[in-house]
Chain A
């Protein structure tokens, strides 16, 4: 074991590097808001992390996070996705992979990198070349029929977050039934309800990330 450790130190890049987690979902479902809420929770847990955002042709989400005062601005990288946000997380994630490599080089020992996808439709999925594990965020205000539409993003993600549960009464959504249907179409795989603005469900999301890719429970 001593040999292995020494070797890893020498080789520098030979360790597994940071865990990479994707956060996808439709525009406005609360992906950036979820990251904003996760930042203090991850910091409190002593997890060394950084964020990569994907926007169409701007760096708005990155700027929003950098200005938030929550995180060292150097730990937020923007990738401009161009016309099709799903392309840079699935068909050709090269730009995002490079952004992750760059963060690993600049912050040795970094444990976790979050990739926010530029908002897309229900079909978007992440390439496992880019991320180890990914979250799909939908929101209650988008309608309780979303789980029944069975988009690939919602079916295949490792964790489905149903956000804005605080809005359910205002948009006539039966949240229990929506969650039940989501769990049914996902054959029982993880679904977590959140109210990101009210800070509800954030610890559970952080727990899921820690357990699944950082192997900490």
Chain B
């Protein structure tokens, strides 16, 4: 029982009625109930590579905040609607293979992340900024003298929480975009993707 589900050639599909305006339309959703592995696993990468040449690898781009979800409705770039429901011991990750058939595959791509770049001017400003960011439970990364805060909403809402620090110029602020490291997606072993320390990258 190495894999929690079989790499089936005929995926489970479910019919669902969706409300669109006043019309009830019948849509075919593709139900995904497990992650098959990582696209960099030798076993999978070979098959994916072959499908890629035929343009048969569909990508589903998932915002980084939603990667932590086990249930998600989302549409692939190819227009396929996915109803993802993973077992609790599995997680989505950049490069997760959700479907692998003879004729096609679906792979997860993490959307680029936006970070608020906060640069304190002095040691005491840095201590205060660190205290506040911790108190607010923000997801952060450290880069030398700079604090990066993962944006899961509008930057102005974050800045507003830092009251005096920004207006007084004690902390400089900007927004940067950063692609998730695509070359080193985590390996999945028995369905457990290894989590990687935040901040790892180029």
B160 touches A150 (CB 8 A): yes
A125 touches B137 (CB 8 A): yes
Residues of B near A150 (CB, < 8 A) are: 157, 160
Q: A19-B71, A150-B160, A215-B73 are in contact. List 10 more A-B contacts (CB 8 A).
A: A3-B8, A11-B4, A13-B87, A14-B87, A16-B87, A101-B88, A123-B136, A132-B70, A212-B71, A215-B14
A16 touches B33 (CB 8 A): yes
A187 touches B154 (CB 8 A): yes
Given B8, B18, B29, B83, which contacts A4 in the complex, CB threshold below 8 Å? B8
- Knowing A14-B5, A16-B85, A155-B157 are in contact, say whether A213-B71 is a contact too (CB < 8 A): yes
Q: Tell whether B17 is near chain A: CB-to-CB under 8 Å.
A: yes
Mask, A183-217, CB within 8 Å of B = 1, is 00101000000000000000000000001110111
Residues of B near A4 (CB, < 8 A) are: 5-6, 8, 12
Q: Tell whether A128 is near chain B: CB-to-CB under 8 Å.
A: yes
- Using a CB–CB distance below 8 Å, which chain B residues touch chain A? 1, 4-6, 8, 10-12, 14, 16-19, 29, 31, 33-34, 68-71, 73, 83, 85-88, 136-137, 152-154, 157, 160
13 A-B residue pairs with CB within 8 Å: A1-B8, A7-B5, A14-B87, A16-B70, A16-B88, A90-B137, A101-B88, A125-B137, A152-B136, A156-B152, A187-B153, A212-B71, A215-B85
- Using a CB–CB distance below 8 Å, which chain A residues touch chain B? 1, 3-4, 7-8, 11, 13-17, 19, 90, 97, 101, 123, 125, 128-129, 132-133, 150, 152, 155-156, 185, 187, 211-213, 215-217
Residue of B nearest to A14 (CB): B4
**Most chain-A Cβ atoms within 10 A of its Cβ — which of B1, B5, B33?**
B5
Given B12, B137, B154, which contacts A152 in the complex, CB threshold below 8 Å? B137
B17 touches A217 (CB 8 A): yes
A132 touches B87 (CB 8 A): no
B87 touches A15 (CB 8 A): yes
Inter-chain CA distance A123–B161, complex, in Å, is 12
Given A1, A155, A213, which contacts B153 in the complex, CB threshold below 8 Å? A155
Inter-chain CA distance A16–B11, complex, in Å, is 15
Residues of B near A3 (CB, < 8 A) are: 6, 8
A19 touches B85 (CB 8 A): yes
Inter-chain CA distance A1–B152, complex, in Å, is 38
Given B1, B4, B12, B73, which contacts A1 in the complex, CB threshold below 8 Å? B12
Inter-chain CA distance A79–B69, complex, in Å, is 23
The 6 closest A-B pairs by CB, nearest first: A128-B68, A132-B71, A16-B85, A215-B83, A1-B10, A14-B4
Chain A nearest Cβ from B154, distance in angstroms: 7
Residues of B near A152 (CB, < 8 A) are: 136-137
Residue of B nearest to A129 (CB): B68
Inter-chain CA distance A215–B71, complex, in Å, is 9
Given B34, B71, B154, B160, which contacts A133 in the complex, CB threshold below 8 Å? B71
Inter-chain CA distance A3–B18, complex, in Å, is 29
Residues of B near A123 (CB, < 8 A) are: 136-137
- Knowing A125-B137, A132-B69, A133-B69 are in contact, say whether A215-B16 is a contact too (CB < 8 A): yes
Residues of B near A128 (CB, < 8 A) are: 68-70
B18 touches A217 (CB 8 A): yes
Inter-chain CA distance A217–B154, complex, in Å, is 30
A212 touches B1 (CB 8 A): no
Inter-chain CA distance A211–B14, complex, in Å, is 13
Residues of A near B16 (CB, < 8 A) are: 215-217
